[in-house]
Amino acid sequence: MAGLNSDSNGVKVNEEEATVHYRDAARDKAARVSSRAPPPRYSDVYSSGPLHTIVGVRLPCKPPSTLWDLAVADGKIASIEPFVSHPHDIAHLPGVLVATERLLAPSLCHAHIHLDKCFLLQDPKFLDLEIETGDFNEAMELTTQAKSRFEEEDLLRRGRQLIEESIHFGVTVMRAFVEVDGDVKFKCLDAGLKLKKEFEERCEVQLCAFAQLPLFSGEDGGVEIRDLMSQAAHREGVDVVGSTPYVEQDEVKMKMNVRWISMMALFNGKPLDLHLDYNLEKSQDPLIWSALEILKGRNWTERGGKRITLGHCTRLTLFSPEDWRKLKDEISDLPVSFVGLPTSDLFMMRNESRARGTLPIPEMIQAYKLDGAIAVNNVGNAFTPQGNCDPLSVASLGVAVYQAGTKKDAEILYECVSSRAKAAIGVPSASVDFAVGDPADFVLFDRLDIGWRCRKTITEVVYDAGPHRQTIRQGRLTTT
């Protein structure tokens, strides 16, 4: 005997009849679905293979009212032609991306980011390590405590999250610092090498084996860390070597640090990346002059030395115009680029009068013709608790920090996290005025349904980038 139930209104319902009804309804629905054309394949909408055509985009250096079609071949721009309206929908064709009037710009770059120290303030494993004073010494101490607990699992988990988030913001290449010292040995480096391999098709991870701790100070005079760094510099997959001369106990050892790490870079044929002059004290002579003298004394250019990248350098913010001109002359033909790190610098770096400073990168580029970029540096740790993995957030911050609000300023700020950032770490890039033969590494801004708020120019993107982007690397979509 069929059971009886009451619905919410107290009406008796025969369960057997209800079962028959729902079964017949499901059969009818299945028949209707099967009579329709199947939905498009994922690969037709977001091709997993290479793109050959990007249709109907706005380009940075073209009038916003005009649209363009780009052809892509072998990971490069093959042609740029005025948009042609197609009589038949081609969006479903493999290798075609219909941009629907969205802005296409060169992809973004982390010229300087720490892969192993990210998200320490959010990770459950390290939640006991809270900021109390917010100064540099505390940040070093908290990070040292965290490093004593580093394991492959959390290094991979946190590093993977940083790379994944960066890709979704439009990043296709990054210089990732991984520390080597007596505490972590090669833990950070080994994890970085695994992540580099894991993401090689979606993002170029340029690994810098990095000595955050002194190379010549300390109880053993830096013997262990120099041995470890020597081994790291020879490792396959290590692209760059770097150090932090300012952590040494005196100026003599700072110069010894520069001499040793620059020798390692030359000997191994690798670029050099130095964290330099991280202070705002006028009474403290900047090390930049001695560093340049050491590098020129090694006949860096004549011996085929690779690019030299100098990060932080906040002491240089106290330079006069004469100092900047002298710096340009002293650099001469050395392949030197500066990377300003405003989110970290403004949080960490203050003097006794609480003045803050970060390299004036736009002015260095425009007034003194120096090579420069800006970058994120740290994400979610005691050196930089605020911010995220988006390089454009730093460019947007730069509008206020550098009082750089003009159209030209905005374009330079965008370049500082894109083409200039890539140049600072020795990577080819498309410029904002795309040309045939440029790498097909792009970021496509905004959703399709955002209407008049759609960003049409680089200036609008720098003022307010918005979160909705698609990333293209070597002619392939890496995000949806």
State the CATH number of the domain containing residue 177. Answer: 3.20.20.140
Q: Do 115 and 85 have their domain in common?
A: no
* Model confidence pLDDT, tens digit, residues 43-82: 333 445 789 999 999 999 999 899 999 999 999 999 999 9
- Asked if 472 contacts 77 with a C-beta cutoff of 8 angstroms, the reply is no
- What is the model's pLDDT at position 138? 93
304 and 340, same domain (yes or no)? yes
277 and 228 in a single domain? The answer is yes
Reference 282, options 318, 322, 325; nearest CA is 318
Q: What's the pLDDT score for residue 325?
A: 98
Higher pLDDT, 380 or 41: 380
CA proximity to 427, closest of 115, 111, 59, 210: 111
Query: 306 and 160 in one domain?
Result: yes
- pLDDT-based confidence at 303, cuts 50/70/90? very high
Which of 62-66, 103-107, 110-114 shows the lowest mean pLDDT across its residues? 62-66
308 with 327, same domain: the answer is yes
What is the arithmetic mean of pLDDT over 173-198?
A: 97
Long-range Cβ contacts of 449-456 (<8 Å, 24+ apart): 454/101, 454/102, 454/103, 455/103, 456/58, 456/64, 456/103
> Are 25 and 64 members of one domain?
no
Average pLDDT, the chain: 89
**Can you give the pTM of this predicted structure?**
0.87
Let me know whether 94 and 132 are in one domain.
no
**290 & 364 share domain:** yes
Q: What gap in Å lies between CA 133 and CA 127, rounded to an integer?
A: 16
Neighbours of 235 (CB within 10 A): 15
C-alpha to C-alpha distance for 420 and 418, rounded to whole angstroms:
6
Q: What is the CATH number of the domain that holds 58?
A: 2.30.40.10
Axis-axis angle for helices 407-416, 391-401 (nearest 10): 140
190 and 66 share a domain? no
Residue-number span of the structural domain to which 29 is assigned: 4-35
Query: Considering its fold, how many domains does the chain have in total?
Result: 3
Confidence of residue 350 (pLDDT cuts 50, 70, 90): confident
Q: Are residues 112 and 101 in the same domain?
A: no
**420 plus 437 within the same structural domain:** no
Q: Give the C-alpha separation, 431 to 438, whole Å.
A: 8
Q: Is the pLDDT of residue 448 over 90?
A: no
**What residue type is assigned to position 211 of the chain?**
A
Please give the sequence-ordered ranges of beta strands (E in DSSP) within 107-194, or none if there are none.
108-114, 171-179
Note whether 365 and 452 are same-domain residues: no
- Identify the H or E element spanning 373: strand 372-374
